[in-house]
Amino acid sequence: MDTTANEPVTPTFAVDSLEAFKLAFRRHAAGVAAVTALGPDGKPVGFTATSLASLAAVPPLATFNMAQVASAWPAMTVGNHVAIHMLGPRTRYIAEILAADNAVRFVGDHWEPGPYGVPILKGVTAWMLGTIVEVHPVHNNAVVVVQIETGALGPEDDALLYHERNYRAPGSAV
């Protein structure tokens, strides 16, 4: 039996707080979601988010975090509608599109207008539409709280993960 897994790990090098933060979160796999909305000018906006979390089932609340300097930030106002999409390996290309220049994120046929005109991405494993009920600024970022109103399942697919600065699919169960 291997007992080395239970032994304390001694750090091999010291790092400052920012470097420790970056290194640790690179090792933390996170599911990849996409958030879309209509901006104040009525044009679609969107971005990828690895910070999506369920907050409550009753009422159904979800949260995500974002930078206040993001191009989609002006759309993140209380009362505005957003769509949250779950991505899989087959829709990785959507994550890449939404991580690219904001001027080209909605060029193409990978989306269609949904309820309230909010962009709904095609082929995603699931999507939820909701209303922003709270926005909590924290330094130059914010936690956005969304009350879910409707949604749908898409084609089955594995989860799309972001880990060690790469998109990945889950491996075998442990």
Q: What is the pTM of this model?
A: 0.89
Sign of CA dihedral 106, 154, 162, 59: positive
Place of tokens 């239970």: 6
pLDDT at site 11:
63
pLDDT at site 3:
53
Cis previous bond, 44, omega within 30: no
119 close to 73: Cβ distance less than 8 angstroms: no
Which residues does 54 contact at the CB level (< 8 Å), separation at least 6?
Answer: 61, 62
Residue ranges of domains in the chain, CATH in brackets: 16-164 (2.30.110.10)
101 close to 64: Cβ distance less than 8 angstroms: no
Which residues does 25 contact at the CB level (< 8 Å), separation at least 6?
Answer: none
Q: Give which of 98, 117, 93 is closest to 34, Cα–Cα.
A: 98
pLDDT at site 10:
65
pLDDT at site 127:
98
Low-confidence ranges of the chain (pLDDT < 50): none
The amino acid sitting at 32 is V
Q: For residues 29 and 168, what is the distance between their CA atoms, to the nearest angstrom?
A: 9
| Distance of alpha carbon 48 from the chain centroid | 5
pLDDT at site 4:
55
pLDDT at site 81:
98
The amino acid sitting at 26 is R
Place of tokens 């032994």: 7
